[in-house]
Chains A and B, each alone.
Chain A
Amino acid sequence: NAGVTQTPKFQVLKTGQSMTLQCAQDMNHEYMSWYRQDPGMGLRLIHYSVGAGITDQGEVPNGYNVSRSTTEDFPLRLLSAAPSQTSVYFCASSYSYGAQNYGYTFGSGTRLTVV
Chain B
Amino acid sequence: SQELEQSPQSLIVQEGKNLTINCTSSKTLYGLYWYKQKYGEGLIFLMMLQKGGEEKSHEKITAKLDEKKQQSSLHITASQPSHAGIYLCGAFLYNFNKFYFGSGTKLNVKP
In the assembled complex, the CB of A51 is this many whole angstroms from the nearest CB of chain B, namely 10
Does B78 reach chain A (CB closer than 8 Å)? Answer: no
0/1 string, B36-48, CB within 8 A of A gives 1: 0000011111001
A90 touching B45 in the complex, CB below 8 Å, given contacts A45-B100, A101-B96: no
A90 touching B98 in the complex, CB below 8 Å, given contacts A42-B1, A43-B88, A101-B92: no
In the assembled complex, the CB of A46 is this many whole angstroms from the nearest CB of chain B, namely 11
Residues of chain B lying within 8 A (CB to CB) of residue A43: 43, 88, 90, 101
- Secondary structure of the B contact surface, majority rule: strand
- Using CB atoms, name the residue of chain A closest to B44: A106
Q: Is the CB of A56 within 8 A of B97?
A: yes
Residue from the list A56, A104, A105, A107 in contact with B99, Cβ < 8 A: A104
Residues of chain A lying within 8 A (CB to CB) of residue B48: 102-103
- Secondary structure of the A contact surface, majority rule: strand
Q: Is the CB of B98 within 8 A of A48?
A: yes
In the assembled complex, the CB of A11 is this many whole angstroms from the nearest CB of chain B, namely 16
Residues of chain A lying within 8 A (CB to CB) of residue B6: 42
In the assembled complex, the CB of A85 is this many whole angstroms from the nearest CB of chain B, namely 19
A105 touching B45 in the complex, CB below 8 Å, given contacts A40-B103, A42-B103, A42-B104: yes
- Of residues 18 through 48 on chain A, the ones whose CB sits less than 8 Å from some CB of chain B are 31, 33, 35, 40-45, 48
Does B52 reach chain A (CB closer than 8 Å)? Answer: no
Interface residues of A (CB under 8 A from B): 31, 33, 35, 40-45, 48, 50, 56, 58-59, 90, 92, 94, 96, 99-109
Given contact pairs A42-B104, A104-B43, a sample of 16 additional A-B residue pairs in the complex whose CB atoms are under 8 Å apart: A31-B97, A33-B99, A35-B101, A42-B88, A42-B101, A43-B43, A43-B101, A44-B101, A48-B99, A50-B97, A56-B97, A56-B98, A59-B1, A90-B43, A96-B96, A102-B48
